[in-house]
Structure 1
Amino acid sequence: MISTNDSSEISVTNTYYSYNENNNPTKILSETHFAADDYNDENFEEHHYFYDASNSLPVKLLLVKNKKDSTVILFSADESKNVAIEKNTATGESYYYYYDTKSRLTDIAHKYQNQKKLTTDYIFQYNQANQITQMTVGEEEGAYFFVWKYTYEENLRINERCFSKERKLLGTIEYAYK
């Protein structure tokens, strides 16, 4: 993927991607332009990724917002060379990544500043083809969650369904391929 464009009646977001020789992202630039009758604005965000000597494992991310505010994010790997910890050097907040025996991401958790224990933000489940079939997303510091279920045909995602904690269907996205 080289670029994406996402637009609505009041905003347009263009995102551009650059990669290294291992096809890992080195730079992601995102520009969002907002326009309404009484409001105009722009937001810019840059992600600059830095890798280890093998050029395959991320070790640092420089996040630049609106061309001036920057934050350094550091990554640590587990024994299988998966990203295991992501630490924001400005806030000290850390995210923890967990994997199954096939190195598929299963959980993302972090500790909120007012909590003593980790809160799971995401849980992923997979089918035999290693496609994500379900993603549970935590909200409100773990007090609420949404469940996204994904269906595939011929290795292509054909729909996504979002359910509330109470198992009520909230929305559906359907895909058509040509």
Structure 2
Amino acid sequence: MTRANARLQVDERRAQLVALGLRLFSERSYDELSIDDIATAAGISKGLLYHYFTSKRDFYAATVRSAAESLLARTDPAGEGPDPEALLAALDQYLLFAEEHASAYVALMRSGVGHDAEVAAIVEDTRARFVARLAGRLGLADLTPRVRLALRGWVGFVEGSSLDWLARRDLPRDELRDLLAQLLVATLMAVDAAPPTAA
């Protein structure tokens, strides 16, 4: 076996373990899952799991990074410009992701593993990328501090509302989606930025 093939097998195995981690952390909290539980679910020894990840937190950080990339990919609407339908589709995908991975989403947004610099950095980077994407879609090349803060605040509102919604489930998902879209328009109007309008 060549070194390249060996590296590919390691990368593929890591990816499989991360996918398993996302499922496990979606079903149980970080504190509820032991490294033994993870190894058992993966069908490998604890020692082999440590070959791929240095610790449970390292494993968790890898799953968070993967989840963030998946969320960003799922919420990246097709097309160009401020299309209201694309915004609604992106919000739908965001809420679906939060619903599908509720335990992991709640733990992550409520810092369920305590202050972990790496996990916090992944979350903040994801938020910054959401803000940059929104600004790009809205044609806001000159992202003033007011607009940046407004968009960042809206992203925080989406997160907080999603957490409340997951806990209560007292509003249909499409109604929450529409509310979040309306609040984005109101947020943009408050900072004199052009909101998305129907074509």
TM-score for both structures, normalised by structure 2: 0.23
More helix by share: 2
TM-score for both structures, normalised by structure 1: 0.25
Q: Which has the higher contact order (CA 8 A, sep 6+)?
A: 2
